[in-house]
Homo-oligomer: A and B are copies of this chain.
Amino acid sequence: MIVIMKKNATPVQLSNVIARIEGMGCQAHVSQGEERTLVGIIGNGRPLDRERIEQLDGVEKTMPILKPFKRASREFHPQDTHVKVGDVVFGGNEVVLVAGPCAVESIDQMREIAHAVKASGARMLRGGAYKPRTSPYSFQGLGEEGLRILAQVKKEVGLPVVTEATDPELVPLVTSHADVVQVGARNMQNFALLHAVGEAQRPVLLKRGMMSTIEELLMAAEYILSHGNDRVILCERGIRTFEPYTRNTLDINAVPLLKQLTHLPVIVDPSHGTGKWELVESVSRAAIAAGADGLIVEVHAHPEQAVSDGAQSLKPERFDALAESLRGIAAAVGRKL
């Protein structure tokens, strides 16, 4: 960390800064510049608290040198992490398709979709039992009944399932029915939930918050990793911007950037990332071309009857065509699907 002193900082203020740094068990390294005095802090291996320094008299600001995430960083762990879910591997050479409806509505609905998406090449089934909804008057999910349907369809169709936990106390129940537990975008900084899924030692699908930076996403992953659970799959699902034509702006830059910054697998949700099914196919191709390790796509046999997210759901036949077209893209970037 570097401390930048104010232009008119006094020698006494500088001495105080140095004393504070040394009091933290670190070394101070003073550079007298043309217009400013800088103090470099040589650390003791533990994270530094910038704020403690920034308040001192005579300090203009501090600047971090190192990134704040460690376990999630590629510097710490250079090789790609492979997250295995049954015989499916996220982060390897294969591009993995996850598909299913926004919400679990009934056993028949799930069965129909599961068979269809499996036939098209999906390797995991999605479906929400607990739905975080903006309005208290919207459908909130089938809850435990939804989990039972997922477990039943999983057994019948032979696809692992991912579903969201919205409350720390639901984590044991969710993990007893599902293979992967999802932390949704709205809960990316629900730290109690991050602790709970960290402790659960089960694979986690961590979605980027709609207004969270890439660094905050990696810090959220760090919460889970710090519990010794490194089976974390990151998901870019669009961020909130000023553009009103689309529900979110899918941050395609995040895909190669995350692959550089972290060893964790990175998948993309083109359904929430666009909010319009007409855009899902193009953006899915873009995600794979950009290096994503997989996709999570909303598919519904009857989108016009879906209880939620119908506008961004593909019909099974379109999903089938999409999967087919993705094979060419995957091959062009040296991967298979």
Of B136, B169, B286, the residue contacting A252 (CB under 8 A) is B286
A334 → chain B, closest Cβ, in Å?
9
Of B66, B189, B222, the residue contacting A35 (CB under 8 A) is B66
A63 to chain B: closest residue by CB? B63
A226 to chain B: closest residue by CB? B136
A210 contacts B by Cβ under 8 Å: yes
A16 to chain B: closest residue by CB? B304
A132 contacts B by Cβ under 8 Å: yes
**Interface residues as binary, A132-172 with B (CB distance below 8 Å gives 1, 0 otherwise):** 11111110100000000000000000000000001111000
How many copies of the polypeptide does the oligomer hold? Answer: 4
Of B2, B169, B328, the residue contacting A2 (CB under 8 A) is B2
Q: Which of A7, A167, A187 has the most CB of B within 10 A?
A: A167
Of B186, B213, B311, the residue contacting A244 (CB under 8 A) is B213
Given A190-B187, A331-B332, A219-B135 contact (CB < 8 Å):
yes
Give the segment of A42-50, A84-92, A121-129, A174-182 that binds chain B. A42-50
Q: Which of A135, A279, A289, A308 has the most CB of B within 10 A?
A: A289
A316 → chain B, closest Cβ, in Å?
15
A50 to chain B: closest residue by CB? B311
Q: Given the complex, which residues of B lie within 8 Å of A192, measured CB to CB?
A: 166-167
A255 to chain B: closest residue by CB? B282
| Assembly CA distance A129 to B76 (angstroms) | 32
> In the complex, which residues 274-298 of chain A have their Cβ closer than 8 Å to any Cβ of chain B?
274, 276, 278-279, 281-283, 285-291
Q: Is the CB of A55 within 8 A of B310?
A: yes
Q: Is the CB of A243 within 8 A of B213?
A: yes
Q: Given the complex, which residues of B lie within 8 Å of A289, measured CB to CB?
A: 282, 285-286, 288-290, 329
Q: Is the CB of A310 within 8 A of B211?
A: no
| Assembly CA distance A284 to B231 (angstroms) | 30
Q: Given the complex, which residues of B lie within 8 Å of A31, measured CB to CB?
A: 29, 31, 40
| Assembly CA distance A42 to B38 (angstroms) | 11
Q: Given the complex, which residues of B lie within 8 Å of A47, measured CB to CB?
A: 135, 137-138
Q: Is the CB of B311 within 8 A of A51?
A: yes
A15 contacts B by Cβ under 8 Å: no
Give the segment of A93-101, A111-119, A234-242 that binds chain B. A234-242
A309 → chain B, closest Cβ, in Å?
7
A4 contacts B by Cβ under 8 Å: yes
A262 → chain B, closest Cβ, in Å?
12
A211 to chain B: closest residue by CB? B211
| Assembly CA distance A223 to B4 (angstroms) | 27
- The 5 sampled A-B contact pairs (Cβ below 8 Å) are A51-B311, A135-B222, A166-B191, A243-B251, A257-B279
